[in-house]
Amino acid sequence: MKRSGEAFWWALFSAGGVMAALFVPAFVIVTGFLLPSGDAAVAAERAAGFAGLVGWWPVRVALLGVIALSLFHCAHRIRHTLMDLGLRHLSGLLKLPCYGGALAGTVWAAMLLRAL
């Protein structure tokens, strides 16, 4: 019997799940609450420091990794949810919008990070 290629998508899903669970909440807390909190001048100083950190290319590559894998995690979950909702016969076709969307999001994130 031919082994399914699903292992590839599941690997991205699995890695993305770890990334999303470990880092995304921390990113939300840091960039959404901690950085902008308190005195405006101090917050601006903190933001400048953070921008300097993101300016370092290994940090941008790591950020892109977290974002891309989280997007593929999300895409895989949406595809399987749609299959469970009755679109099981379209499982192959659903790959295009789901993983294509994750790929588009990855390219967009790469462009944004590059422009920083």
Residues lying near other proteins in the complex (CB under 8 A) are found at 1-8, 10-11, 14, 80, 84, 88
Judged by CB, which is closer to other proteins: 46, or 80?
80
Shorter beta-carbon distance to other proteins: residue 93 or 116: 93
Least distance from other proteins to the Cβ atom of residue 11, Å: 4
Q: Rounded CA gap, 88 and 115, in Å?
A: 40
Could you give the CA distance from residue 103 to residue 111 in angstroms, rounded to a whole number?
Answer: 12
- Which token pair is 58? 């290994």
CB of 65 or CB of 113, closer to other proteins = 65
How far is the C-alpha of 78 from the C-alpha of 75, rounded, in Å?
A: 5
CA proximity to 116, closest of 28, 57, 34: 57
Residue 9 CB, nearest approach to other proteins (Å): 9
CB of 8 to other proteins, least distance (A): 6
